[in-house]
Amino acid sequence: MSPNDNSKSSNAHWGGRFTGGPADIMEKINASIAFDRRLFLQDIAGSRAHADMLVAQDILTPEDGKAINEGLELISQEILAGNFSFSEKLEDIHMNIESRLKELIGEPAGRLHTARSRNDQVATDFRLWVRDSLDDIDKLLCKLQSVLIDNSEKYADLIMPGYTHLQTAQPITFGHHLLSYVEMFGRDRGRFSDCRKRLNESPLGAGALAGTTYPIDRQHTAKSLGFDRPMVNSLDAVSDRDFALEFLSSAAITMTHISRFSEEIILWCSDSFGFIELSDSFTTGSSMMPQKRNPDAAELSRAKSGRVFGNLMTLLSVMKALPLAYSKDMQEDKEPVFDSMDSLLLSLNAIIGMVDDLKPIPEAMYMAAQKGYPTATDLADWLVTSVGLPFREAHKVTGKIVKAAYDKNLSLEDFPLTEMQSIDRRITDDVISVLSIESSISRRTSEGGTAPENVLASAAIARKRYL
């Protein structure tokens, strides 16, 4: 058959003015059923709301409405049971369902599409799908915050090195570190919830682009589908995909958090750090090196961020030069969103599992926290508060002390007081009390600081705020 063969019959849903059928390649590039079948529940819900409204407005008879509803219920059961046969010839989920409805109930099926276009239909279905997904994501993010908060309380005073530039900076507690992610995921929830608020308007009733001449009631369908209100402008209603872009950009930011956390888990379980252990449940072996325990779930969660960033770029590129209103380009909106949702759910579940599973190795964290002069800032602060030096000068004096201690391969705590005094004679033995990492931590009680008492208080506040 040549690629331009049109000997087939025309499409039953829109082929009135056609004499021939589409070329194979036309059918292939046009079909979205392979992926948009995921919208079936939303499509059926949208059709039911539309049919009920048509009946309430005397556009359809109650008998037709009843037959449509019963047929759609049957179709929903068939799809859920895996007994529905999807056809590429019928392009998409909307026409697959309508065709089956025709087989089941006959003529009334043909009245369902009164005062509706696939343009407002797909916009409605997709909004409903993204809305359901946002609710699932929120539940998972909340669960993740919950395991993080539990662990932050458990490890409120577990000392570890804090880094900047991945160089030892100041000691912190593991609980404090975990709570920083509670905040990030809290902001993520805020972004998804903003997206949900803006998304929750109904495109249904916009028709193909210009509205309809039938006396429809858009408030009715908006209400029955749980939307806050109908979208104001019919052109905007069928051509807007901001909600998908907002979903993708929020998902991309969440994936950066997941990826950073994954990266830290990978570092922490490396032999060089050895700060935590993951159990057999969250590690894999190597086929060659028998000693290996690899943190594959963390690596894959880190990597999946790339797909989600790419998906955001895909949809931005699809949308950026489309004239109003609907163009078939917009059929390409679904796969990036579906793939991002799948990646996000997998990664979130994996991170929740790993946070629950990980076991800190306190000795290793403590040993690492002692390296690299982590209490140098405490010494400088002591010179400010106890000797009265300006901070810049205190910084300079401390730098000299650190260098002298480093040259002798000694920690600040082990560096003799007399030697410190030979660098600055105003130093007294009172300084010793601020040089240990324990004191460094317990004295950092400023709002949002790492002191264990702060961590416990912050965990309690987070529990109230987020869970």
- Of 330 and 344, the one with the shorter C-beta distance to ligand ARG is 330
Chain positions contacting ligand ARG, by CB under 6 A: 32, 36, 92, 118-119, 122, 326, 328, 330-331
Closest approach of Cβ 330 to ligand ARG, in Å?
5
Token digits of residue 249: 């950009």
Q: Please identify which of the residues 2, 7, 165, 287 carries the catalytic annotation.
A: 165
Around Cβ 113, how many Cβ atoms within 10 Å?
A: 16
> For this structure, is 286 an active site residue?
yes
- At position 455, the amino acid (one-letter code) is V
Closest approach of Cβ 131 to ligand ARG, in Å?
17
Residue recorded with tokens 């309430």 = 56
Closest approach of Cβ 331 to ligand ARG, in Å?
4
How far apart (Å, rounded) are the C-alpha atoms in residues 366 and 138?
35
Around Cβ 83, how many Cβ atoms within 10 Å?
A: 8
Closest approach of Cβ 205 to ligand ARG, in Å?
16
Q: Please identify which of the residues 270, 281, 286, 317 carries the catalytic annotation.
A: 286
- At position 292, the amino acid (one-letter code) is K
H or E stretch including 359? Answer: strand 359-360
The answer to whether 181 and 112 have CB atoms below 8 angstroms apart is: no
SS3 161: strand
> For this structure, is 165 an active site residue?
yes
Closest approach of Cβ 223 to ligand ARG, in Å?
24
Residue recorded with tokens 């002390």 = 401
- What is the separation, in whole angstroms, between the first and last Cα of the chain? 61
Contact residues for 269 (Cβ-Cβ < 8 A; gap 6+)? 275, 276, 277, 278, 283, 293, 295, 298
**Residue ranges in 115-207 assigned as alpha helix (H):** 118-154, 174-199
Write out the catalytic residue numbers: 165, 286
